[in-house]
Amino acid sequence: MKSHVILLLVVSMAISGSLSIDRSAFNLVGSTPGDSAIKKMLGIKADAVIDFIRWSLLMKADETFQLTIQYGKNQPNTLGFKQGGIFQIIEGKYQVSATENWEQLYTLKSKDGTAMLNLVAISTNLFHMLDGQSQLLVGNAGWSYTLNREFVEAGEVATFKSSGAQSDEAKLIFEGRTPCREITMLHPEMKASSDCFKIKWRLILNRDAQTGLPSTCTTRNIVDNQPRDVVGTWQLVKSPRAVIYELKLPGLQDPILMLQADKNILYFLDEKQHLLIGNKDFSFTLNRK
């Protein structure tokens, strides 16, 4: 795959402009960490012990929402919770606005006023939660703060301008877990089994000590519980609206492509430079460590 092909995404983002607000009902799913910030946003007691939260967020056409969450301690070696976890339903209203940083900001407020969330539409199919400073929330090695449209809309369109800010640190580390099938279909050389449902990632990006330019990268991905460490190279592809990371790894015919949302968040792209959309368990997001 030639580097110039990557610019197709940039062009589609640039010509799309502002995307009209979706007035039809749609459902968002995903699993996020259960740290103190998100507990406060959801009105959950601060001392509640939570490994992760599973979300089903129905955004209705009349600008009301119904959020069903399940949370608790993770049951080891499963996708579930110990003793089934705790279920909670939160209902309320949402409004959509544009800000200096975000073309589509969804603000959700519960009926009783105990919960308030801000979500930004990264694309028609991908949403991300914001912190109190209107920055993308950073997840951990297990879960991210990305929600995915349950039934994907065709013709993926990005709705925001990715941050061009670059860290000058010599080493950057990103972590996360993604679904397996979509990645291994793009890169069959990874030879995952038919039972593979998640990939654990640890990505190390190095810069040249003298020039500060991208140099080597190391990916550790655990496929079928088998860790694989691969050393390759990486480069940045920039445009007025996007910054794309291109990872070239030995053994893979095509590069791995990721869109930089900001200095802390990366999203995986497919071979057509579309954002990959996750499921109720995992998103195609890496979080800076």
Token pair in block for residue 256: 């791995």
CA distance 276 to 186: 11
Low-confidence stretches of the chain (pLDDT beneath 70) = 1-23, 154-158, 160, 163-167
Burial 246-280 (b: 16+ CB within 10 A, else e): bbebeebeebbbbbbbbbbbbbbbbeebbbbbbbb
- What sign does the dihedral 154-159-161-167 (CA atoms) show? negative
Token pair in block for residue 255: 């590069």
Q: How far is CA 228 from CA 8, 61, 104, 121, 191, in A?
A: 31, 45, 39, 33, 12
Give the type of residue at 270: D
The residues with which 110 forms a beta bridge, in sequence order, are 92
CB contact at 8 A, 244 and 210: no
CB contact at 8 A, 46 and 36: yes
Instruction: Map tokens 């975000």 to a residue.
Output: 102
CB contact at 8 A, 120 and 107: no
**What pLDDT sits at residue 258?**
95
CA distance 156 to 124: 6
Phi-psi region of 63 (alpha: psi -120 to 50; beta: other; left: phi over 0): left
**What pLDDT sits at residue 240?**
72
CB neighbourhood size of 76 (10 A): 6
Which option is the CATH number for 24-140: 3.30.720, 3.40.50, 2.40.128, 3.90.1720? 2.40.128
- What sign does the dihedral 270-255-189-287 (CA atoms) show? negative
**What pLDDT sits at residue 17?**
42
Q: Measured at the alpha carbon of residue 283, what is the angle toward residues 276 and 73, in degrees to the nearest 5?
A: 170
pLDDT in tens, 200-240: 999 999 999 899 899 999 999 888 888 989 999 999 987 77
**What pLDDT sits at residue 164?**
64
Return residue ranges of the chain for CATH 2.40.128: 24-140
CA distance 243 to 7: 10
CB contact at 8 A, 259 and 276: no
pTM: 0.89
CA distance 264 to 167: 10
**Chain centroid, CA 279 distance in Å:** 11
Q: Shortest CA distance to 159 belongs to which of 262, 4, 14?
A: 14
CB contact at 8 A, 286 and 174: yes
